[in-house]
A and B are shown apart, each in its own frame.
Chain A
C-alpha cells in the first residue's frame, strides 16, 4: 500500500545518493518548489505582496476551494471523482441564504448548508456503490440534479440576506485572522490526521490502490466510498456557508466550475489521478499556487488577459518538474 509519493519508490542504483535524493525531492515537492519560487518573485516584484494583510487575504479568498480540494483528496485517493461539488456548493449556498432569510436565524441557515450537502454526498456515495456506476458518470448525473435543485430553490434569482450576524462567518476576524481561515486550518488539520494517521485513512489508500485486494483484505469498500463522498459533501457545504456569508447572498450559479478547479489543484499538488497516492497538504499547495498567480496579477496591475497564459505555463512547469524527477529515477 502506498501513501505519499516519497514512500513509493526504492532508491535507484545508478546515481549517487545525493543526486538521487535531490531528484526525489524535486519530484515529490515540485508544487512546493514552485510555490516558494512564486512567493519570492512576487515579494520582489511588489512591496504590497509580502504583507500580513495580503497573505491573509490570499488565505481567506481561497478558503472555499481549499476545503473542497482537501476533502476531494480523499475522493481521488480512493480512486473516485466527485464532479458534483460545484453543484452541491450551489445547493448549500441557496439553502443557507433561503433558510436564514426565511427564519431570521443566521446560524440555522449557515448550519443547514453542510448538513444538506452531507446528505447530497450520501446520495453520491449510494449511487456509486449500489448502482455500481463509475463515480465520474454518477456524480456528473447528480451534479445536474443538484444544480436543478439550486435553481428551483431560488427560481433562478438571487437571495439577498440582510439578517444580522449572517456575515460573521465570512467576514469577521479574530486577532487579525479571518474566522474562515481558522475554520479551514482546523478542517485541513483534521483531514490530514484522518488520511495519514487513522485506520480509515489507510482504508482509503487501500481502496484507491486496489479495490479488489482491499475487499479481500476485509475492508468494506462500499462503506469507505460512501464516507469519502459524504466528506466531500461536508466540505462543499462548509465552503458554501463561508462563501454565502462573505457575500451575503445565495445564487444558483455559485460554484460553477469549482469542481474542476478543485480537481486541477489536487492533481497539480501531486495526488495521483489513478488513486492510492496523495496527501491533503499537496492539494492545499495546489490551490494556493494558482491563487498566488491571480493575486500577483491584481496587485501588480498586470493585464488580466495574460493571467491564463501565465497560469498555464506555471502548471506546466510544476508538472514538468515532477516528470523530470520520475524519468531520471
Chain B
C-alpha cells in the first residue's frame, strides 16, 4: 500500500469517526428517547459499604416511584479530583438529567459550579460549598442536601459521654477521630472538645487518629492504654475505629462494656454491639434511607414538584439516631442499614 492511499484511508476513517462521535453526542443529551430520565450517582467510592448502601437506597426509591430512570454509578475512588472531574463531565456532556453525589470533598466540589448545564444536583452526607456546617444549598445548582451538620452530631455524641461521666471525677476520655487533616473531622474533634471541656470532671487524656481503619485504631488505642489504663470513655466518630478500640481494650484485659465505648455510622456490627451492651451507644446513620430521600428530592426537582432544600438525615431512619441499648430495644427489628 503506498503512502498516498494510506493517508486517504486514514483521513476517511478519522472523518467518519468524528461524524459518528458528533452525532452520538447530539443524540445523547438529557432524557432517554422514551421519555425517562438519566441520573448519575457519583459515589465517593463505589467499593465502599456506605456508598453502596446509598446507591441501594436510590435504586429502591426508583423502583418505588415507578419512574423510568436509567441510573449510572460513577466511582469517585475516594479522590476529590476524580469526583470533581466526574461532576464536570456529567454536567457538560448533556447525557444526564440529574446528579446525586456523595462528596469526597464538599468545599472542593463547589468548583464545578455553576454547572455547564442546568440540571439538579442532590448531595448526600456532606453539603457542597465552603461551609461544611451549612445544610441549605450554598451553590446554584444544588437543589437539596440530605445530611446533618457534623458539629451538631458530634456534640450530641459528646453529650452522651458527659452524661455517662456525671458521677465520675475525674472521668478520663479518649477522642478517636478519623483524619485530623480533614476539615470534617477537625470540626468533629472541636465539637467533642467544646462539649467535654464544659464539664470540669471530664479529662481528655488523649486525642488520636483512627483513619477509619480498625487496625490503625487498634494500634492507637493500644498505645494510649500504655499511659492511661484507667480510661472511662472512648469517643469515636466511626464504627470501624470503635471496633479496633474494642479489640485494644480486650487485648489489654479491659472489658469493653466496663467503659463508655461509642462510635458513629450505625453499621450492623455496631448495632449488634450496642444491643449486646458491649458498646454503650452509637450514632446511627441511615445510608439506604438517605439514598431514597435523595432520589425523591431529585425526582421532585425533575418533575417540577416542591423540593426540600435540606433533608435532616437523622430523621429519615426508623430509630433514634443517637442509639443506646434502651432505644434499640424499642425497635427490635432494626439491624442497621449497612456494614463496612
A interface, CB within 8 angstroms of B: 46, 48-49, 51, 53-54, 57, 61, 151, 155-158, 160, 171, 243, 246-249, 251-254, 294-295, 298-301, 303-305, 307
Contacts and interface: CB of A to CB of B under 8 A. Distances in A.
Contact of B223 (A155, A247, A249, A299): A299
A239 to B, nearest CB: 11
A282 B222 CA distance: 26
7 contacts: A57-B222, A61-B222, A156-B47, A160-B339, A253-B213, A300-B227, A301-B207
A307 B216 CA distance: 14
Interface string B202-237: 000111110001110011101110110000000000
B269 A160 contact: yes
A298 B223 contact: yes
B46 to A, nearest CB: 7
B227 A247 contact: no
Contacts, number: 83
A243 B214 CA distance: 10
B48 interface: yes
Interface residues of B, number: 32
A66 to B, nearest CB: 13
A49 B46 CA distance: 41
Contacts of B267: 158
A301 B205 contact: yes
A299 B251 contact: no
Interface string B304-340: 0000000000000000000000000000000000011
A128 B123 CA distance: 44
Nearest to B219: A61
A256 B243 CA distance: 19
What are the nearest 10 A-B pairs in CB distance? A298-B223, A48-B227, A156-B47, A247-B214, A299-B227, A301-B206, A54-B226, A61-B219, A48-B226, A157-B49
A54 B222 CA distance: 9
B247 A156 contact: no
Interface in B167-224: 180-181, 205-209, 213-215, 218-220, 222-224
Interface in B274-315: none
A301 to B, nearest CB: 4
Contacts of B213: 253
Contacts of B220: 298
A151 B227 contact: no
B214 A299 contact: no
B129 interface: no
Given A158-B340, A171-B251, A304 B215 contact: no
